Amino acid sequence: MASAKEFVACLLGIEGVQSCMLMRKDGQLLHHNFEDPDTVSSLMIIAAMGAEGIKDKAGLSYFRHLVFARAGRNNLFVFPLGRYFLGIVQQPDASSKALTESLMAFLAGVSTDNSSA
């Protein structure tokens, strides 16, 4: 993976991405462009760790992402990435389906091994 700053910059270039946050699973914030990162990072860590726990207890193979739908359509997506969690806020006029497909395609090429983030 590129540096956290470069990684977030690449994600912000994807059509439909309004905001982005990369954090370690231990809660350390690596890079973001949020005005209030504390609230979002707390939600991300609680939700993603809970989803991973449910996955493990239920014997499921993987947890791809969570989506928190918002009335203004600026939905929050949370993706597990190895030792990291990625939070993405959707632009209100973007298609959730198209954004999910773009993000999944982008993230399929990301390796979190030997990361400099």
DSSP 37-102: HHHHHHHHHHHHHHHHHHHHHHT-S----EEE--TTS--EEEEEETTEEEEEEE-TTS-HHHHHHH
Cα–Cα distance for residue pair 60/75, rounded to 1 Å: 25
Q: Is the pLDDT of residue 114 over 80?
A: no
Q: What is the number of domains present in the chain?
A: 1
The pLDDT tens digits of the residues spanning 57-105 come to: 999 998 899 999 988 889 999 999 989 999 999 999 999 999 999 999 9
CATH code of the domain in which 72 resides: 3.30.450.30
Residue 87 lies in a domain: yes
Assigned domain for 113 exists:
no
Q: Is residue 8's pLDDT more than 50?
A: yes
Alpha-carbon distance 64 to 13, whole Å? 21
**Is the full-model pTM beyond 0.95?**
no
Residue 62 belongs to a domain? yes
